[in-house]
Chain A
């Protein structure tokens, strides 16, 4: 039992476990919509594009979630604008815009005088998370979960059949931008735990794992949240005992759970006996 209880005697470990479990849960919930809408690349783009926003916000003394939000949504607007006004294909535009934003972030970090540690942004710093960061994460999580729960059915319809949504008078444009805003905010929360580079894993892997396990959306959400929270907790423990990167451990456990589902899922696993009956 010591291996389980000993880390809990450190305040920083308790904080790390709680924050990463919370962020894991929120990302797990959102990841269902990301995988079903086919927005994995968009998640990657937004999570990288928030970086200059974080630096600017720090420099101006604003909450970094505000800067991140502005740049996250800004990157999506830029992607939409370039795509509409040029003949370049969407995936190229996405790759082009987010790396541009990310590069701007790198330059700003090295030039703007601040106490920001680049590695903390890139790879997360959940073991050293401050109280004000925890407050921001709590606020973001409450907002994101609230929106996703209230608009659960509408977002599901928006992912499944936007034409029908539109034809019964649902404002799909609003849903589109709401989902993007939620994505930006969640990317900021995820940035705390696993950093800019690996946050896309938090936004994609739990949803993909759950998608292999069920044909019901409600179950998929619960499974995604469960697998994501579990990965966060196990990841933080493994990182403590093996003295290795926390972000790496969390995402590695997520990938491990995905591989288990990929092999053993009752219907859609590659070793499944029912596989031939799958549609």
Chain B
């Protein structure tokens, strides 16, 4: 495994007093968060509570108006250059008719480690092959991405994150519209990732999935309301604050 999976001295992700606003509209304020290496953390909140904003701040898509983020002790920009952060999109956000094969999608995880022309070396091909094997898609590698099912597509993007050798994985609603087989495979993968020291942040509406998979949970409603061990954080009061009094049935 690559050096960047070695746990840092401090936390894997550290967010202090983070504020983000879009042209004066506050999306997130005073958010504090600290996640260790090797954990599966659920990010729970309503639509518009700031989950996407937090992801965008962690991937450098929005610039915080205040506060700071450290990933493996580095700034977001330095962590990006170090290939530390992988974002796994909701497959609905991707153009399924794009003329690109599964292999090429996973190879995109290697771009950051390649030279300017992005010519794959043998080591890149090995990384892509291994990643496809781990998500059980090797036999579909040459298919166009549009020919896959929703669950297979989700696995292809997970493979891209594996090929990138990222130590932080951000997953946006990973369980939306996936089949049982994919869900089981993803659960196994998440456990392996944790063992390898990766930190996985999963945004989801589904409290059942949080209870089943996550060691830690972050409750978010414009700010971080609470974070910590799932059993300690999932109190009726906290959930009521997160969902504005309307707690979804688990």
Contacts and interface: CB of A to CB of B under 8 A. Distances in A.
Contacts of A170: 111-112
B98 A150 contact: no
Contacts of A36: 95, 98-99
Contacts of B89: 161, 163-164
Contact of B111 (A153, A211, A220): A153
B126 interface: no
B36 interface: no
Contacts of B116: 150
Contacts, number: 81
Interface string B119-146: 0000000000000000000000000101
Interface string B140-168: 00001011000000000000100010000
Nearest to A38: B95
Q: Which of A153, A164, A215 has most chain B Cβ within 10 Å?
A: A164
Interface string B92-111: 00111011110011001101
Contacts of A150: 116-117
B80 A169 contact: yes
27 contacts: A36-B98, A150-B117, A153-B118, A157-B108, A160-B95, A160-B98, A161-B108, A163-B61, A163-B89, A164-B86, A164-B87, A164-B108, A164-B160, A166-B61, A166-B80, A167-B60, A167-B86, A167-B87, A168-B109, A169-B80, A169-B112, A215-B100, A215-B101, A216-B99, A217-B100, A279-B146, A279-B147
A11 to B, nearest CB: 39
A167 B99 contact: no
A167 B59 CA distance: 5
A17 to B, nearest CB: 30
A217 B97 CA distance: 11
Interface residues of B, number: 32
Nearest to B96: A279
B99 A168 contact: no
A212 to B, nearest CB: 10
Nearest to A153: B118
A156 interface: yes
B146 A215 contact: yes
A165 to B, nearest CB: 8
Q: Which of A153, A164, A168, A169 has most chain B Cβ within 10 Å?
A: A168
Contacts of A163: 59, 61, 87, 89
Q: Which of A150, A153, A154 has most chain B Cβ within 10 Å?
A: A153
A157 B99 contact: no
A169 B116 CA distance: 12
Nearest to B88: A164
Interface string B32-72: 00000000000000000000000000011100000000000
A78 B104 CA distance: 36
A216 B83 CA distance: 27
A136 interface: no
B111 A154 contact: yes
B108 A167 contact: no
Given A150-B117, A163-B61, A215-B146, A168 B80 contact: yes
A217 B83 CA distance: 25
Contacts of A159: 98
A57 to B, nearest CB: 33
Given A160-B94, A279-B144, 16 more contacts: A153-B117, A156-B100, A163-B61, A163-B87, A164-B87, A164-B160, A165-B111, A166-B80, A167-B87, A168-B109, A168-B111, A169-B81, A215-B146, A216-B99, A216-B100, A217-B104
A214 interface: yes
Nearest to B149: A279
Contacts of B94: 160-161
A154 B111 CA distance: 8
Contacts of B111: 153-154, 157, 165, 168, 170
Contacts of B109: 168
A146 to B, nearest CB: 12
Nearest to B119: A153
B83 A169 contact: yes
B77 interface: yes
Contacts of B118: 152-154
B85 interface: yes
B154 to A, nearest CB: 14
Contacts of A167: 59-61, 80, 85-87
A219 B80 CA distance: 31
B99 A211 contact: yes
Nearest to B160: A164
B96 A168 contact: no
